[in-house]
Structure formats: structure tokens, C-alpha cells
Amino acid sequence: MSKVPFKDLPVLVKAAVFVSFFTAWVMFEEFVIDRIQDKGEVALVRHAYVAPNAQRKGVGTGLLRHVQGLAGKPVLIGTWADASWAIEFYRRNGFTVVQNSYKESLLRRYWSIPKRQIETSVVLADGRWMEASNTR
């Protein structure tokens, strides 16, 4: 696997953008973004991963900020409720865990996942979504 300097990330991610949906199979030793999905009024970060040896170096934060800029709209992220490390990462980066009263409706509206996964998941929202929804 070849290494690409982090400064080249914006160019690489922009190259993967399509009108309504893009899969950025951007795989390097440092990070992977699997899917960012445009769902009309929101964008979903479907899968993101930073290799352990690249964590705590700003790679994930930089990637997340760049994706938020590309989306140009509120961003929602679904993850397992037990994934405390992921939830903490998103919280440190300005995301808020959506109240349970909204979680299920968001998961049903934007994701196609089984009932059990809905029960064991959380949704995190960026500031744009929180402001637009007045749920803070």
C-alpha cells in the first residue's frame, strides 16, 4: 500500500465525489473512508476508519472536517452504542449524540438497518443539524 501525504487528502477526496453519492475507497496506511452518502437534506458518514498507528495525529479530525466541508449540509453518523471510542472521537469533533426520541426516526429515515441494529445504535449529528433541528 502506498503512502500519500496527508496534505494531498483534499484533492483525493474531491476526486471521489459524485453528484448524489460517493464511495471514496481512499485506502492508505493511515485512513479509510468507505462511504459518504448524500440523502438530500443531510449527508451520512457511513464508514470511516483510522489505523491505530495514525490515531491521535489529526488524521481523522482532518478527514472529518474535509468531508463536512464537501457535504455542505448537516452530517449524521450512526454507530454502535457500545463503540465508546468512536462516540468520544465524534464528540471531541463537535458532534452531539441525538436524543433517543429522535434516534429511531432518523435511523429509519436515512439508514436501511434491522430493528436490532436500531436498538443498539446511536446517531451523532454535527452542529448544522443540531441548529436546524432545534433539538439541543
Q: How far apart are CA 38 and CA 43, in angstroms?
A: 4
Q: Tally helices (H) and strands (E) across the chain.
A: 6, 6
- pLDDT at position 54: 74
Tell me: the pLDDT tens digits for 10-58?
A: 544 444 443 333 434 444 555 555 577 889 999 998 777 777 777 888 8
Is there a contact between 50 and 31 (Cβ–Cβ < 8 Å)? yes
**Mind listing the pLDDT tens digit for each residue in 50-97?**
777 778 888 788 888 888 888 889 999 999 999 999 999 999 999 999
Burial 100-120 (b: 16+ CB within 10 A, else e): eeebeebbeebbeeeeeebee
DSSP line for 35-82: EEEE-SS-EEEEEEEE-GGGTTTTHHHHHHHHHHHHH-S-EEEEEETT
Q: Quick one: cell of 1?
A: 500500500
- Residue ranges of the domains in the chain? 1-73, 78-136
pLDDT given at position 14: 45
